[in-house]
Amino acid sequence: MSLQFALCISTLLFLAGIGTPIGYSTILASIVYLIVAGQDIALAAETALWGLYDSFIILAVPLFIVAANIMNAGTISDRLLSFCVSCVGRFRGGLGHVNVVASLIFSGMSGSAIADAAGIGKIIIEMMTKGNRFPAGYAAAITAASATIGPIIPPSIPMVMYALVSDQSIGYLFLAGIIPGLFIGLILMTLNFVIATIRNFPKDEAVSLREMPKITLNAFPALLMPGILLYGIYGGVVTPTEAAAVAATYALLLAGFFYRALKISTLYEIFVRSARSSATIGLVIAGALILNYIVASENIPSQLSSYLVGLEIHPLVFIVCVNLLLLFLGTLLEATTIILVIIPLFIPACADLGIDLIHFGVIAVINTMIGLITPPFGMLLFVINAVTKIPLREIIRETWIFMAVLISSLMVLILFPDIVLWLPEKFGYVSAYQ
């Protein structure tokens, strides 16, 4: 490691550590690098600006954020929820199942775990805690756990970011997430059923079959959205980035004209809010682009890779170690930072060790999503705490079991890559394992 790189990393750790925004910390750290290395300081701005200007796929991020915000504001989430209640509310632990199924469907539209928790999650926690039917901590914990499914099932903002740093096809990444997402959903529902039986949580009153058609019809246009998006992408109608715009348009049409639940002033608020979050993510992306450039010019990933290949380390050992590291970092760092800054370090090593990069990407995204619910720094826990006022302590106490189950599911997906790769292979993907 060169002196300039060591200084760059220590500046980054120091500034980010004392609470300087991550985006600024990375930009400053790279300026330190450029000065010590005697290179042109303008390279920092140059890399960031050309990087942002050249990466068309990243435009999906602001558009998916808009789509998710429209769905939350325009009662689309509420309608989906009543549909889920009528389907799975009648089983033991009813609203817990509703929570998971709602996340599965909602995630097929928004691609953001935070939007899931803040929108649909808030409503369902209110339903679950009404009349003390479920302990508040449990309601919050299962909401957080099921929100992690969001970015695994397409469309997915984190997967767009992974595609950016790994140069993999977003189309195949999206496909690869579908079965793992459903798999984790099923596991969570099983866990909810077991806990509900042991702790004797209530069922919801069964919705009569006569009401079912009306509720289904009401939610039907919203239910169509995941289908439209998948057809659009895999039917070759739109690129995954354009699909984000289609999702936002569809949500806008539904909320504005079909359900008539969107005022112009609300729409304005949505755009302001979405612009804010897009810009904060954009700044972290800008910083990460510079840092990735430095890391690449220092040859770190290929050095790491040749070192690991030299050790004759087994790919499975490698992937498990990387995952343990990511889980650890996930307790401290935000998912965007991990995907954009940390994961690129391991991509060449993965490729050299014969690990499939679509498999690795899905695993890595799931891993960072688990990181969203691990204390002390779990973004989803904070969001739920902020929108419901349920104390963090109560939420965290109930979260452990979900965390354990999610990590076990992650292990299964690591050990059996076919669960991830089967669907993309059906669509013509040739994996590195073949």
Partner 1 sequence: MKTAFNWFQRISESISAAMLAALFIAFILQIFSRYILNDPISWTVEACLTIWVWLVFWSNSFVVKHDEHITFDLLYFAVKPNIRRVFALIGSLAIMIGIAISIYPTWDWIDFLRIKKSTILYIPMRTVFSIYLIFMVATFTIYLVRFIRVARGEDLDEQAKIADEEIS
CB atoms within 10 A of CB 408: 11
The answer to whether 224 contacts partner 1 (rule: CB under 8 A) is no
State which residue, 238 or 309, has the beta carbon closest to partner 1. Answer: 238
Residue type at position 280: T
Q: Does 131 bind partner 1 (CB under 8 A)?
A: no
Q: Euclidean distance between the first and final Cα of the chain, in Å? A: 36
Pick between residue 35 and residue 411 the one whose CB is nearest to partner 1.
35
What CA–CA distance (Å, rounded) separates 8 from 370? 29
Closer residue to partner 1, CB minimum distance, 328 or 416:
328
Q: Is 334 in the site for partner 1 (CB under 8 A)?
A: yes
Rounded least distance, CB 174 to partner 1, Å: 18
Helix axes 315-330, 357-371, angle to 10 degrees: 30
Task: To the nearest 10°, report the CA torsion of 16, 20, 26, 30.
Answer: -100
Applying CB under 8 A, among 8, 157, 308, 333 the residue interacting with partner 1 is 333
> Binder to partner 1 among 4, 5, 8, 27 (CB under 8 A)?
27
- To partner 1, the closest distance from the beta carbon of 226 in angstroms equals 18
Q: Which helix (H) or strand (E) holds 365?
A: helix 357-371
Cβ of residue 404: shortest distance to partner 1, in angstroms?
23
Q: Which is nearer to partner 1, 146 or 337 (CB)?
A: 337
> Per-residue x/- mask for partner 1, residues 58 to 97, rule CB under 8 A?
xx--xx--x-------------------------------
CA–centroid distance for 225 within its chain: 19
DSSP string, 49-99: HHHHHH-GGGGHHHHHHHHHHHHHHTTHHHHHHHHHHHHHTTSTTHHHHHH
The set of residues, in sequence order, having a beta carbon less than 8 Å from that of 94 and lying 6+ positions away, is: 85, 88, 202, 203, 204
Residue 257 makes contact with partner 1 by CB under 8 A: no
Which residue, 49 or 401, is less far from partner 1 as judged by CB? 49
User: Which residue's CB is nearer to partner 1, number 55 or number 216?
Assistant: 55
> Smallest distance from the beta carbon of 78 to partner 1, in angstroms?
24
User: Which of the residues 347 through 376 are near partner 1 (CB under 8 A)?
Assistant: 376
Residue from 220, 258, 271, 433 in contact with partner 1 (CB under 8 A): 271
Name residues whose C-beta falls within 8 Å of residue 117's C-beta, 6 or more positions apart in sequence: 143, 144, 147, 380, 383, 384, 387
3-state secondary structure of 311: coil
- Choosing from 1, 6, 10, 17, the residue that interacts with partner 1 (CB under 8 A) is 17
d(CA 204, CA 199): 15
Q: Is 227 exposed, middle or buried (0-12, 13-18, 19+ CB in 10 A)?
A: exposed
Which token pair is 130? 């009404």
Residue 286 binding partner 1, by CB under 8 A: yes
Q: Is residue 397 within 8 Å of 137, Cβ to Cβ?
A: yes
Residues 184 to 203: which contact partner 1 by CB under 8 A? none
The site for partner 1, by CB under 8 A, has a size of 60
* Residue indicated by tokens 């991990």: 338
Q: Identify whether the C-beta of residue 285 lies closer than 8 Å to the C-beta of residue 52.
A: yes
Out of 35, 186, 316, 430, point to the residue binding partner 1 (CB under 8 A): 35
Site residues (CB under 8 A) for partner 1? 15-24, 27-28, 31, 35, 40-42, 44-46, 48-49, 52-54, 56, 58-59, 62-63, 66, 237-238, 242, 244-246, 248-249, 268, 271-272, 274-276, 278-284, 286, 332-334, 336-337, 376-377
